[in-house]
Amino acid sequence: KPVYTAVSAAAAKEALEAFAAGQWGVKYPHAVSTWRTAWERFIPFLAFPPELRRVIYTTNSIESLNYQLRKVTKNRGHFPSDDAVVKLLWLAICNIEDKRARERAKEKGRPAAERKAAPRLVEGLVVTSWKQALAQLAIAYPDRINPHL
């Protein structure tokens, strides 16, 4: 965590070296090697402010959705058209959301700390600091973001 929350590339490098020399770096040298190999690709991440970094590196819900969509398309050899793929993926997203909605309904009324159901997938999911992150992305990548705003 000290590596990807560092205020600068130099501070991140120091944190990585401290991790490498510490208990976990010695126990997991491959983790250190992975960081060092990907260092040049990682450094641009440090240019973003902390609120944008948090949005970028918290991708669990995206990874979960992608995993479920890959499962749906994996067993099909090919599709007759692009529309067929879009339809299949849309129906899969609807099914995933229906399942999550049923799980949320079962937990309705429980305290938030006790709920384990996944949040909404299609609409209404709150992403903390998303407006600030979107503003920073629009500044960093105006040609990619501004046409969609």
The count of other CB atoms within 10 Å of the CB of residue 131 is 10
Q: How far apart (Å, rounded) are the C-alpha atoms in residues 55 and 48? A: 11
- Give per-10-residue mean pLDDT for the chain (149 aa): 86 93 92 92 83 70 80 83 91 85 82 70 55 80 82
- Considering the entire predicted model, what is its pTM? 0.50
Q: E strand or H helix at 113, and its extent? A: none
Long-range pairs for 73-80: beta carbons < 8 A, 24 or more residues apart: none
Residue 123's pLDDT is 47
Q: Please, which residues have CB within 8 angstroms of residue 19's CB and are 6 or more apart in sequence? A: 2, 3, 25, 32
Q: How far apart (Å, rounded) are the C-alpha atoms in residues 144 and 136? A: 12
Amino acid at 60: N
Residue 124's pLDDT is 46
What separation in angstroms does the CA of 100 have from each of 52, 74, 85, 118, 122? 27, 22, 23, 6, 11
What separation in angstroms does the CA of 126 have from each of 71, 72, 113, 120, 149? 26, 26, 17, 9, 18
Residue 117's pLDDT is 67
Residue 138's pLDDT is 85
Q: How far apart (Å, rounded) are the C-alpha atoms in residues 76 and 82? A: 14
